[in-house]
Structure 1
């Protein structure tokens, strides 16, 4: 009997080894189901003209939601809403603004033309929003950050005033090297939330400003004025959401310079002053007034969510959420005769990634130990509203949500050595990503454009701000293989200048989808590892 027990014990390691080998083989087979043809098919469908650019509250939303729900059903995933459906309703209020604006300096009236001089709107759910002539005040970067002993307001009351701000963080030179930014102040070259336009509008509203105008500069904004112009369309807020400043918007850089000069101020000099702690708000010596006529409507938009139950009796009640947004900019201002903003990369490619991951995970012989949620959110382009709604009304407790893996736009330009993690170094999830990347001879890299603040511009941020560790990706490739010097900067720059938030974001015949497939397979293994591990990831 003793010998029989000893023989059984000696068999256990070999049985466990065989089981691990079988699981690894199954994972490799599932990973191989991620192929370019299906990717291109899904992107082409979602970005096709019949989908009308997928704006919330339109026939395009109906088409996108139906396609995603139908795809999840065909894959064999369960409905993700505990009510038995694939839909989470997201109540929105849409406002389409027609804006008349005037500045007055020295008794001379200066009409501010919408699209040419400013792009302004009101998110107040009122048909008429009026800002009577109000003093214009320059508040630098509009930042109050006690941890950096920084206060651009210095106690100045801006209630009822038109506040003009610079976008981005104050760029503080490193005292040891004036050619570099001080990494101990804000994020150095990396944008913090203080630099985001959302923060600027929020602080203006909290201080009772009548209007907030951000001076557009392509570098810190992260996109040219043409992208701002494409933003002159219906805007959304969650029903019952925060109170907005009456008028929000952007002012073109040259127009700002001209208005500052009319008030006797040199824009460049005030911009330099704003980069110091000693800066105090400056009255510009003129007024601005606005009349906004809003078309207001209520919209029941939709997040689409599917579920793959975990295989472990205990861990199946913990969740890993994979997310991407399905929405785009819909039908807008025609450019070269085309008015459908197809949104192929941003973000039909992300939605296609979500479906590819769903197919791969469903094909596993044994599901991961933890449950997976596949969440396609609405209204990202309106300010992460679908993700915010999920964060405020989670279908499964965030206290049992282990991680979020989010894709905003894929890389259609070829294979890369590096994969870029937005918010590089913030969580232990990157250890898992780095381990899996190393299997492919790849490495994890920081965002090559940290000044653009992408960490705060994607849906994962609504999970991160509620404590859920997140990995997020936007054009995730870097260090392109077998490409000429300067290739990466050229293709990304061309996309932002030519296609981003324009009708030309369409499936291109010259796309190289090898990087899309490689990144998706890497994230499949990364997510599988997160879902299999009993350990919880942590923020650093």
Structure 2
């Protein structure tokens, strides 16, 4: 049911996303976008699930705690009452084996050389963790190499590790992409818009593939999109990772960050400067630069293994049940955290992400009420997003439904309560043929697409859908509209700033009965329409030619006997 829909003139489907990207349907592409009716989205369900999951009783929904036990039981109950079926071969859950590694007794980061003996303090100057399940880490006199942006992209003719053997060495890496300062979206790495090559996760993965002992990213606030305070808080204390058969021993010994000033001091000691090297790293043909210095650091690890759970519900398809449309949202949050001035130490995560989880339940209800679609609809509530998309990553690596049979999907993360809007922000617009489905849904409800205001921050790579995308499955990620019916763009930006400054990842992210719920209903209706169109159609939308995930999808489809 559509509530409080913005009253604007319908837009032509072909032009709906022109505000955020120029989209041309690839030659030979023909999408079958089914005509579907609106869903009956229950405002009561959205309220009840958000209120319950963000109550103090759930203690912030930290994986591996009593808060998880209550959350999983509650979601199973809600999915069953919605008329859905268990999604994991008769079970509602999928075990996600995790390992928690807490570093301690950090040494200084010592930089040595013929005429250098510098020491930098942990937390203040550098942070480091290990993905390895090892009782301690000791890196001694590891040769330092500046590797630019740390990118190996054969399809773009780019290799920052060309001609060097990194075994046992420590890579110093710049954050983001080489062309992040570009004003437009044209450039070797999509200009202003970040690609996955710009994310710190990729840089550590590539350093490990190169055999590096350690990888240290240079922190710079603008290209990183956050200050050192965020790095310090996020990279100290317990860190959770997925368990692997080899204890992650194929990872680097240490991954971390250094302050920009630290990197500048290191480069000066090497007889060069960071600005000159950074400029060189922006050009194709850059070669890694051995610095003639060494790095040493060490720390101890306390290791705890435990299992968390993804919750999986489904509505089997009536005609092609083996073809799957995915809906994702993360149920977890931060648990107990730094107390506020009142002593409240529960990070309730009402917006982030009780709202998205509530949307998942409400969508399950609406689809069940509408009856089975041709394809199966899956509703996946994943764990440990806040610790690095771990639940989504585990599912994508161990899928219940083959990824080559997963048509595409939508992800819902932190649906903020700003009120009804004339627009919706399309994160990662211009990447896949799913833009057509988004455009059709927006046309149906009389709303428009708004481009990301900060594409250089790479938000498409920061939520659970990404773990599917990087394995080839096209996924849609929408965020809040900025042009509110009550107050316009100015009000939308003010509310976004207030949430980020006062509530995000803090005890103040709490449920409020007086939120303008109509806007929430409107946004969930869009997700319903997109999912239903995918489920009733026969097309297999793909990534656009040249997108970093296109080759992965094509390879997956070519190897599949069925599915895409």
* Residue 217 of structure 1 pairs with residue 220 of structure 2: yes
Alpha-carbon deviation of 1:335? 5.9
Alpha-carbon deviation of 1:256? 2.9
Pairing partner for 2:145 from 137, 140, 152 = 137
Q: Residues 352 and 246 (structure 1 numbering): CA distance in 2 closer, same or farther, change over 3 Å?
A: same
Pairing partner for 1:524 from 528, 534, 538 = 528
Q: Residues 348 and 157 (structure 1 numbering): CA distance in 2 closer, same or farther, change over 3 Å?
A: same
Alpha-carbon deviation of 1:333? 4.7
Q: What is the distance in 2 between the residues matched to 1:266 and 1:150?
A: 23
- Per the alignment, in what secondary structure is the counterpart of residue 403 of structure 1? strand
Pairing partner for 2:231 from 225, 228, 231 = 228
Q: Residues 498 and 524 (structure 1 numbering): CA distance in 2 closer, same or farther, change over 3 Å?
A: same
* Residue 315 of structure 1 pairs with residue 288 of structure 2: no
Q: Residues 253 and 41 (structure 1 numbering): CA distance in 2 closer, same or farther, change over 3 Å?
A: farther
Q: What is the distance in 1 between the residues matched to 2:477 and 2:448?
A: 16
Question: 1:223–1:496: 8 Å Cα contact kept in structure 2?
Answer: no
Q: Residues 284 and 512 (structure 1 numbering): CA distance in 2 closer, same or farther, change over 3 Å?
A: farther
Question: 1:223–1:497: 8 Å Cα contact kept in structure 2?
Answer: no
Q: Find the counterpart in structure 2 of residue 380 from structure 1.
A: 385
Q: Find the counterpart in structure 2 of residue 78 from structure 1.
A: 85
Q: Find the counterpart in structure 1 of residue 208 from structure 2.
A: 205
Question: 1:306–1:375: 8 Å Cα contact kept in structure 2?
Answer: yes
Q: Find the counterpart in structure 1 of residue 347 from structure 2.
A: 341
Question: 2:141–2:296: 8 Å Cα contact kept in structure 1?
Answer: yes
Alpha-carbon deviation of 1:214? 1.1
Greater shift in the superposed pair: 263-272 or 514-523: 263-272
Q: Find the counterpart in structure 2 of residue 455 from structure 1.
A: 460
Q: Residues 259 and 515 (structure 1 numbering): CA distance in 2 closer, same or farther, change over 3 Å?
A: farther
Deviations 1:487-518 (A, max 9, x none): 44444344445543344433357743332211
Q: What is the distance in 1 between the residues matched to 2:467 and 2:180?
A: 28
Q: Residues 427 and 203 (structure 1 numbering): CA distance in 2 closer, same or farther, change over 3 Å?
A: closer
Greater shift in the superposed pair: 506-515 or 188-197: 506-515
Deviations 1:233-289 (A, max 9, x none): 322222216522111112223333344345444333332232223543334454332
Deviations 1:213-237 (A, max 9, x none): 1122232223332322331232222
Alpha-carbon deviation of 1:208? 1.9
Q: Residues 132 and 505 (structure 1 numbering): CA distance in 2 closer, same or farther, change over 3 Å?
A: farther
Q: What is the distance in 1 between the residues matched to 2:93 and 2:392?
A: 14
Greater shift in the superposed pair: 253-262 or 120-129: 253-262
Question: 2:326–2:408: 8 Å Cα contact kept in structure 1?
Answer: yes
- Per the alignment, in what secondary structure is the counterpart of residue 478 of structure 1? coil
- Per the alignment, in what secondary structure is the counterpart of residue 183 of structure 2? strand
- Between Structure 1 and Structure 2, whose CA radius of gyration is higher? 1
Q: Residues 421 and 509 (structure 1 numbering): CA distance in 2 closer, same or farther, change over 3 Å?
A: same
Question: 1:89–1:302: 8 Å Cα contact kept in structure 2?
Answer: yes
Q: Residues 85 and 129 (structure 1 numbering): CA distance in 2 closer, same or farther, change over 3 Å?
A: same
Flag structure 1 segments of 5+ consecutive residues without an equivalent.
1-22, 174-178
Question: 1:93–1:239: 8 Å Cα contact kept in structure 2?
Answer: yes
Q: Find the counterpart in structure 1 of residue 191 from structure 2.
A: 188
Q: What is the distance in 2 between the residues matched to 1:81 and 1:226?
A: 40
- Per the alignment, in what secondary structure is the counterpart of residue 230 of structure 1? helix
Question: 1:411–1:515: 8 Å Cα contact kept in structure 2?
Answer: no
Q: Find the counterpart in structure 2 of residue 357 from structure 1.
A: 363
- Per the alignment, in what secondary structure is the counterpart of residue 483 of structure 2? strand
Alpha-carbon deviation of 1:79? 1.2
Q: Residues 146 and 401 (structure 1 numbering): CA distance in 2 closer, same or farther, change over 3 Å?
A: closer
Alpha-carbon deviation of 1:433? 2.2
Question: 1:96–1:234: 8 Å Cα contact kept in structure 2?
Answer: yes
Q: Find the counterpart in structure 1 of residue 99 from structure 2.
A: 93
Q: Find the counterpart in structure 2 of residue 125 from structure 1.
A: 133
Q: What is the distance in 2 between the residues matched to 1:409 and 1:422?
A: 13
Greater shift in the superposed pair: 196-205 or 436-445: 436-445
- Per the alignment, in what secondary structure is the counterpart of residue 458 of structure 1? coil
Higher RCO by CA contacts (8 Å cutoff, separation 6 or greater): 2
Q: Residues 92 and 510 (structure 1 numbering): CA distance in 2 closer, same or farther, change over 3 Å?
A: same
Greater shift in the superposed pair: 338-347 or 161-170: 338-347
Question: 2:94–2:309: 8 Å Cα contact kept in structure 1?
Answer: yes
Deviations 1:67-118 (A, max 9, x none): 2112212223211111x2201111122211123332235454423222x222
Deviations 1:331-376 (A, max 9, x none): 3455655543332322222111101111222223x33232211110
Q: Find the counterpart in structure 2 of residue 537 from structure 1.
A: 541
Q: Find the counterpart in structure 1 of residue 415 from structure 2.
A: 410
Question: 2:120–2:126: 8 Å Cα contact kept in structure 1?
Answer: no
- Per the alignment, in what secondary structure is the counterpart of residue 440 of structure 2? helix
Deviations 1:390-426 (A, max 9, x none): 2222222333322221112213222222222332133
* Residue 250 of structure 1 pairs with residue 257 of structure 2: yes
* Residue 398 of structure 1 pairs with residue 407 of structure 2: no
Pairing partner for 1:166 from 159, 174, 180 = 174
Q: Residues 342 and 254 (structure 1 numbering): CA distance in 2 closer, same or farther, change over 3 Å?
A: farther
How does 1:439-478 map onto structure 2 within 5 Å?
A: 439-473=444-478, 475-478=479-482
Q: Find the counterpart in structure 2 of residue 19 from structure 1.
A: none
Q: Find the counterpart in structure 2 of residue 17 from structure 1.
A: none
Question: 1:171–1:181: 8 Å Cα contact kept in structure 2?
Answer: no
Q: State the superposition RMSD in angstroms.
A: 2.6
- Per the alignment, in what secondary structure is the counterpart of residue 190 of structure 2? coil
Q: Residues 467 and 267 (structure 1 numbering): CA distance in 2 closer, same or farther, change over 3 Å?
A: closer
Question: 2:179–2:190: 8 Å Cα contact kept in structure 1?
Answer: no
Q: Residues 49 and 110 (structure 1 numbering): CA distance in 2 closer, same or farther, change over 3 Å?
A: farther
Normalising to structure 1: TM-score of the pair?
A: 0.85
Normalising to structure 2: TM-score of the pair?
A: 0.82
